[in-house]
Amino acid sequence: MKMYKREEHKSKLLFAGIDLHRHRWHVTMRTEEGELFSGSILGQWKVLQRLFDRYPGYQIQAVYEAGYFGFWLHDLIVEYGARCVVTPPSLMPVEYGNRVKTDRRDSRKLAHLLSKGLLKAVWVPTDEERSQRQVIRRRRQLIGDRVRTQNRIKAELQFFGIEIPAPTGQWSKAYVANLHRLHLRDRWVQESFHRLLEQYDFLSELIRTQTKVLQQLAELAQYKERVAILRTVPGIGLIAAMELLLELQDVARFRRADQLAAYVGLTPSQYSSADKIRMGRITAIGKNHLRGTLVEVAWRLIGKDRAMRRKYERIKVRSGSKRAIVAIARMTLLRTRRMLLEGTPYVMGRAA
């Protein structure tokens, strides 16, 4: 995450704060001196472009919040010749005591903060990177859908008093086969239950197909060598390696290791009072799923690398098991960064 710094231009600067909704966008246009326009427009690029066209001779700088709209609007604004900042809502400066939130206020606030250079900007991946990243994200969504179906199946069994202990994590083929062989109280319950099983089977097949797409992506020249390097880490397989690469892309864009840790959300929060500094839990701002993957990798890693296990045990005595495994996950992330930058494999027995 980087802080956006307002650039000075010889031409006059015009700042556009855009509060996005599906059908209507509220836009505020202002200079450093004051507001020129604030109003609602139809949520279409061509309408926003016509608004920009009203101000010839200005160097336009626009901002909107990251989220539902992705980056296609950013691309169109940049193609138009303006500068665009996509800012994370979680890091927006908050005015103490102001709990009034409207579209007009939000767009005005965005434009004002942009004019002062007080906004942080998210990294905007290329169009190709976005397309490829969607492969791992679609697989993750399908797994989430299957987990919800598993929960419905378990709830259905509980509702009718049928006790079949479900395995933790992914269900085995034998367990699913047993579910298919169940005979419930009557035809209506049986038919309805089978719809859930069919949904589970269908999602499992979609996940297998999407995994094959991910494997094909991993064979591309831009990923193949880096995947091989990452897979030398005990606990990192093809899927975890591709998640790291697709979500982070080129780690060289993080000039310091702590920037990468902050981006993923593995930086401890800090509380300062007078001359005392206390380190708290991780900020948890960033890539939630990637952070979860790294924690899973860390658990597998400490079971295979004795040096990392000893490191975990030392931290555990001082701070508890949860903070210890998160610390190992952070070390693993920073170590993979160094491996990718240097093109070197993982070395067992080295705890840093």
* CA 11 to each of CA 54, 56, 59: distance values in angstroms, whole numbers, following the listed order: 16, 10, 6
Both tokens of 89, joined, read 């809502």
Where in 115-234 does DSSP place strands (E)?
A: 120-121
* CA 262 to each of CA 163, 181, 253: distance values in angstroms, whole numbers, following the listed order: 45, 49, 13
Please give the chain's pLDDT, 352 residues, in tens. 555 555 554 458 999 999 999 899 999 999 999 999 999 999 999 999 999 999 999 999 999 999 889 999 999 999 999 999 999 998 888 765 555 568 889 999 999 999 999 999 999 999 999 999 999 999 999 999 999 999 999 999 999 999 888 888 889 999 999 999 999 989 999 999 999 999 999 999 999 999 999 999 999 999 999 999 999 999 999 999 999 999 999 999 999 999 999 999 988 654 444 444 344 555 556 688 999 999 999 999 999 999 999 999 999 999 999 999 999 999 999 999 999 999 999 999 877 6
Distant-in-sequence, close-in-space partners of 203: CB < 8 Å, separation ≥ 6? 142, 145, 146, 149
Assess contact for 37 and 51: CB atoms under 8 A. yes
Taking Cα atoms as reference points, which of 269, 295, 270 lies closest to residue 283?
A: 269
Hey, what amino acid is at 268? P
For residue 39, the surrounding DSSP H or E stretch is: strand 35-42
Taking Cα atoms as reference points, which of 114, 5, 103 lies closest to residue 63?
A: 114
The helix/strand/coil state of 19 is strand
pTM as predicted = 0.85
Report pLDDT for 9: 45
Q: Is 140 exposed, middle or buried (0-12, 13-18, 19+ CB in 10 A)?
A: middle
Report pLDDT for 10: 42
Hey, what amino acid is at 180? H
* CA 227 to each of CA 35, 224, 241, 244: distance values in angstroms, whole numbers, following the listed order: 51, 5, 6, 9
